[in-house]
Amino acid sequence: MTEIKKQKKPRGKVRLIPGKCIACGARCQSICPVNGIEMNEAGEPYIDIPKCIGCVKCVKACPGSALEIFYTPEELAILAEMEHTAGLADEQVDEEEMLLREKLAAYRGVWVFIEQTEGEPARVSWELLGAGKELAAKLEVPLSAVVIGSNVERLCNEAFAYGADQAYLLDSPVYLHYRTEPYLEALCHLIEKHKPEIVLMGATGMGRDLAGAVATRVGTGLTADCTGLGIDERRNLMQTRPAFGGNIMATIMCDRYRPQMATVRPQVMPMPERRPVADGPIIRSSFRVSENDIFTRVLEIIHDRKGDGAVDITGAEFIVSGGRGLMAKDNFSILQELADELGGVVAGSRSAIDAGWLPAERQVGQTGRTVRPRIYIACGISGAIQHLVGMQDSDTVIAINRDHEAPIFEVATYGIVGDLFQVVPALTEELRNLRQKSTQERH
Ligand SMILES: Cc1cc2nc3c(=O)[nH]c(=O)nc-3n(C[C@H](O)[C@H](O)[C@H](O)COP(=O)(O)OP(=O)(O)OC[C@H]3O[C@@H](n4cnc5c(N)ncnc54)[C@H](O)[C@@H]3O)c2cc1C
């Protein structure tokens, strides 16, 4: 085997340009790292060529520009060859870039996977159509809904109402219940055939399962749990999500593969307005997965319905939320009273949940639920970033905290610096009085 040695770039040697030395006082001699310069009586340098390493320090230091680098004919030949090779490498890079751009340009359009369970659509799918509409407008491409299920054509029409321009429909009994294999095959088939540039899914149990499987199969990137989506000047999807335990927001891009895939948690994107009259083309696909090729069977569906006391904080319009400042479980009764007055629900920070003061499904934040109520009242909550990412898009945030420097005030619409044990009951009382007054006025 022949060893291919990498050619070293010649550095040349230093020489004096006759008549240019100004006898500055031996600056070149003092800077030379190899003692390769002697001075003559006239104060001009004599270069000891074998010692010179071509470091150019003396050339740079010379105030009269009296020193220069020169190359032997062999060195000049090597330099010429190197320049030629570098030019070829540049051409190759340009060609690769062109091929990549061509590959990416073959993918066009924004898709939203419409999640449904037994025909019931997940609200996050409509939220994603709202976000997808903005992305599609920026890219000047259609927004498509992808509906997979059994007897689910009406969901295409519903998707048009929430902004989809067209819908891909795969309707067959084999897709009745969600199973990874048939849904994976179906979605990959559509992606390979129609080549969308962006595919969005809800960061739900189903969305997380399917998105990961699809991204692996089609060989692209996936950003989970995005909190923000945008488009850069090269048509790349900018996918923003919390990173490093929520301490920073990272914007991730998948600039060499298509489609770009992202999941977004429910409630993160605003719900778009429903258009009462909307229509669009439905692109039907007869692609079927044979039941014999699927390893899983759904034998029975057992609904995980919670008892009557279960509360879904993600749909609440008014949320009174408590943190460590509440001090004890029993103290949450004052929040409940305020929530009752408002017709809202009680939620909490992770500290409150970890302390066992509230059930886990009431946690707001990065590892809890994302909420977007009309009013979010944060009581005794400091406002850690992991909490803020779950509530900062509420229409109005009212923060009650006795520490005027608490970070929660940075996202608050109204801030009350004070003891929550005085402020919360006072608010409840005031609301009660207002209600009574308006009832009396009506009678
Ligand atoms: C990976 C990771 C994920 C996380 N996920 C979440 C999450 O999903 N949700 C979440 O909330 N946290 C989450 N956290 C925890 C988060 O970092 C904070 O520790 C937590 O939010 C703090 O809760 P807190 O504001 O209730 O408590 P503290 O930070 O202790 O704040 C209590 C506040 O109450 C105020 N206070 C005390 N007494 C009173 C009073 N009498 N009147 C008025 N104010 C008072 C204090 O001034 C203080 O500001 C996560 C952390 C990590 C590392």
Closest-CA residue, ligand 1 atom 1, reads 245
% of the chain beyond a pLDDT of 70: 96
Averaged pLDDT for residues 146-173? 97
Ligand 1 touching residue 381 (CB < 6 A): yes
Buried b / exposed e along 157-166 (16+ C-beta atoms within 10 A): bbbbbbbbbb
Asked if CATH classification 3.40.1190.20 holds for the domain at 110-293, the reply, yes or no, is no
Fold classification of 313-442 is Rossmann fold (3.40.50)
For ligand 1, mutation pick of 225, 401, 411, 419 (most atoms within 8 Å of CB): 401
For residue 199, pLDDT beyond 90: yes
Cβ 367 under 6 angstroms from ligand 1: yes
Report which ligand 1 atom has the smallest distance to the Cα of 382.
Answer: 49
> Token pair for residue 125?
């799918």
pLDDT for position 1: 45
Q: What spacing in Å lies between the alpha carbon of 290 and ligand 1's midpoint? A: 51
Question: What is the 54 CA–ligand 1 centroid distance (Å)?
Answer: 62
Asked whether this chain's domains 110-293 and 313-442 adopt the same fold, the reply is yes
pLDDT in tens, 182-191: 999 999 999 9
Q: Whose CA is nearest to atom 41 of ligand 1?
A: 419
Distance 382 CA to ligand 1 centre (A): 5
pLDDT, mean of residues 241-263:
88
Q: Is 359 in the pocket of ligand 1 (CB under 6 A)?
A: no
Ligand 1 within 6 A of CB of 370: no
Q: Does 420 sit in the ligand 1 pocket, CB within 6 Å?
A: yes
Q: Indicate the length of the chain as a whole number.
A: 443
Looking at per-residue pLDDT, the higher value among 227 and 283 belongs to: 283
Report whether residue 399 contacts ligand 1, using a CB cutoff of 6 Å: no
pLDDT beyond 50 at 265: yes
Distance of CA 420 from the midpoint of ligand 1 (Å): 15
What are the beta bridge partners of residue 169? 147, 284
DSSP annotation string for 204-254: SHHHHHHHHHHHHHHT--EEEEESEEEE-TTS-EEEEEEETTTTEEEEE--
The type of residue at 40 is N
Mean pLDDT along residues 205-229: 95
**What atom of ligand 1 comes closest to residue 420's alpha carbon?**
42
Q: Which of 66-80, 81-95, 221-235, 353-367 has the lowest mean pLDDT?
A: 81-95
User: To which residue do tokens 């104060």 refer?
Assistant: 43
Token code pair at residue 438 = 């308006």
Structure tokens at 50: 């074998």
Q: 291-336: per-residue pLDDT in tens?
A: 999 999 999 887 765 555 567 898 788 999 999 999 999 999 999 9
Alpha-carbon distance of 402 to 322, in angstroms, equals 13
Who has greater pLDDT, 124 or 435? 124
Q: How far is ligand 1, taken at its centre, from the CA of residue 352, in Å?
A: 8
Average pLDDT, the chain: 92
384 pocket-lining for ligand 1 (C-beta < 6 Å): yes
- For 68-84, what is the mean pLDDT? 91
Closest ligand 1 atom number to CA of residue 383 = 25
Mean pLDDT over residues 251-270, rounded?
93
Cα 310 to ligand 1 centroid, rounded to whole Å = 23
DSSP 8-class letter at 81: H
CA distance 145 to 79: 58
The model's confidence at residue 8, banded by pLDDT at 50, 70 and 90, is confident
Distance 411 CA to ligand 1 centre (A): 15
pTM: 0.63
pLDDT in tens, 266-290: 888 989 999 988 899 999 999 999 9
pLDDT band at 443 (very low <50, low <70, confident <90, very high): low
pLDDT recorded at residue 2: 45
Q: Residue 419: CB within 6 Å of ligand 1?
A: yes
Domain layout of the chain by residue ranges: 13-70, 110-293, 313-442
**Ligand 1 contacts CB of residue 350 (under 6 A):** yes
In Å, the largest CA–CA distance within the chain is: 115
Compute the distance between CA of residue 37 and CA of residue 4 in angstroms, rounded to an integer. 36
Atom number of ligand 1 nearest to Cα 368: 8
- Which residue bears the tokens 């420097």? 405
Q: How far apart are CA 182 and CA 296, in angstroms?
A: 10
Tens digit of each residue's pLDDT (9 = 90 or more) over 354-382: 999 999 999 999 999 999 888 999 999 99
Whether the CB-CB separation of 378 and 396 falls below 8 Å is answered with no
Q: Which of 123, 170, 114, 119 is nearest to 143 (CA)?
A: 114
For ligand 1, the distance from its centroid to the CA atom of residue 349, given in whole angstroms, is 6
320, β-bridge pairs? 346, 377
Architecture of domain 13-70 in this structure: 2-Layer Sandwich (3.30)
CA 377–ligand 1 middle distance (angstroms): 14
DSSP E strand boundaries for 260-355: 260-264, 282-284, 318-322, 345-348
Q: 120-121 and 143-149: which strand pairing? A: unpaired
Q: What residue has token string 């979010």?
A: 376
Q: Are 68 and 57 in contact (CB under 8 A)?
A: no
Average pLDDT, integer, range 228-251: 87
